[in-house]
Chains A and B, each alone.
Chain A
Amino acid sequence: MEKPIFDFPKKYFSKILTLPDEKLIIARRKHVYVLFNALMFLSFFTLLVIYACYALFSFLIPSQSLLITSVVVIIISSLSISTKIITDWYFHFYVVTDKRIIEISHAPLFSHTMCDVLLSQVRCTEIDVRINGIIHQLLDIGNIIVAFDRPTHQEEFVFYDIKDPRKIGAVLGDEFTSLTNNEAAQPVIWSGVRKNLKENNKDISKFRFIEEIFPRGRSIRLIN
C-alpha cells in the first residue's frame, strides 16, 4: 500500500481517532478549486450590486452619504460571506482509517455533521472514481463513490471534489480488499456447494462454510 495521504499533521486527529490501534490512511479536504468558483461568483455578484446601488443613489434617490453607506455595507457583507465560505471549506474533510470512514463538516455557528461508517459493519461492493469536465481533468479533481452493502439497503459514501481521485481510489480499494480477507468478513455459503466448487476447481479458501461455523453436533434446531 502507498504511504498515507494527509493534508494536515497527524497530531490534529487525536480527538477523531478514538478506536484502539486505529491507523490513519487518508485525510483530505475538497480541492481549493471549489473555493475559486464560489468566490468568483460572489465577487461578480458584489460588483453587480455596487453598480445597482450607484445607479439607485445617483439618479433615483440622489444621496452621496447613502451611496457610501451602501457600498460599505456591500463590502462588509461580501467579505463576511467569503470568510464563511473559506472557513466552511477548511472545516470540511474526509478521514479514512483502517477501521472506519469519517466525514466531518463543521460550519461554525451553523452546523456540525460527523458521518462515521464502521468498516467492520459493512461490506464494500464498489468503488467508483468519477472525473467530469476539462478543468477537473486538468486539475485532477473528482468524486469517489464507495458503495456499501448493508443488511437492509445499499448505501453510498461520496468523497466530493477530492484531489488525486485515482490514487485515493486505489488506496481505498487496497484497504477494503485487505479488510475482506479477514475471516469474519468472508462470505458464508452452504456446505452443499463445497462439492460443486471443488469439482469445478474453484478456490474455496475465500469462503467459510456454515458447518464450520455451526458444527452439526452443536447446532440448534429451529424447527419443531
Chain B
Amino acid sequence: MNYVITLLHIMFLFIALMFMFFNIAYIKEVDRAREHLEINMPKTGENLLRVNAIISAVGVIIISFLFFF
C-alpha cells in the first residue's frame, strides 16, 4: 500500500510541477502576444496570470513538503 501511495504522490507532484511551468510559460507567451498583436491584457488579467503562477508554485511547495516529510 505504501508503494502505491508513494507512486501517487510522485504523480501528483509531477502534475503540479507541469502546471507551474505551464503557468510561467503562459505569462511569457502573453507578453509575446502583446508584441505580435499590440493587444494588451488589462492589469487585472496580468495579475490573474501572476496570481495563478504563484498559487501553483505554492501548491508544488505544499505537495513536496507532504511528500518528503
| A residues in contact (CB < 8 Å) with B | 8, 12-16, 61, 63, 65-66, 68-70, 72-73, 75-77, 79-80, 83-84, 86-87, 90-91, 93, 104, 106, 108-109, 112
Q: Which residues 14-49 of B have a CB within 8 angstroms of A?
A: 15-16, 19-20, 22-23, 25-26, 29-30, 32-33, 36-41, 45, 48-49
| Residue of B whose beta carbon sits closest to that of A16 | B37
A65, B9: Cβ atoms closer than 8 Å? yes
What's the dominant secondary structure at chain B's contact region? helix
Query: In this complex, what residue of B is CB-closest to A57?
Result: B8
- B contact residues, total (Cβ < 8 Å): 36
For the complex, what is the distance from the CA of A103 to the CA of B55, rounded to whole Å? 33
Query: Which residues on A sit within 8 Å (CB–CB) of B48?
Result: 83, 86
| A90 contact from B1, B16, B41, B66, Cβ within 8 A | B41
20 additional contacts, CB 8 Å, given A14-B38, A73-B12, A73-B59?
A: A12-B38, A12-B39, A15-B37, A16-B37, A65-B67, A66-B5, A72-B63, A73-B15, A76-B20, A77-B15, A77-B19, A79-B55, A80-B56, A83-B52, A86-B48, A91-B37, A91-B39, A108-B29, A108-B30, A109-B22
- Tell me the minimal C-beta distance from A157 to chain B in angstroms: 20
Query: Which of A61, A73, A93 meets B4, CB within 8 Å?
Result: A61
Whether the pair A109, B26 counts as a contact (CB closer than 8 A) is yes
Among A8, A106, A112: residue with most chain B CB under 10 A: A106
Shortest Cβ distance from residue B20 to the other chain A in the assembled complex, whole angstroms: 8
Contacting pair A72 B62 (CB below 8 A): yes
Smallest CB-CB separation from B2: which chain A residue? A63
Q: Tell me the bound Cα distance from A77 to B22 in angstroms.
A: 10
Q: How far is the CB of A183 from chain B (nearest CB, A)?
A: 35
Do B39 and A8 touch across chains, with their CB atoms under 8 A apart? yes
Task: Tell me which residues across on chain B come within 8 A of A90, comparing CB atoms.
Answer: 39, 41, 45
User: Can you name 13 A-B residue pairings with CB atoms under 8 Å?
Assistant: A8-B39, A12-B37, A12-B38, A14-B38, A66-B9, A69-B62, A70-B8, A70-B12, A72-B63, A87-B30, A106-B33, A108-B26, A109-B22
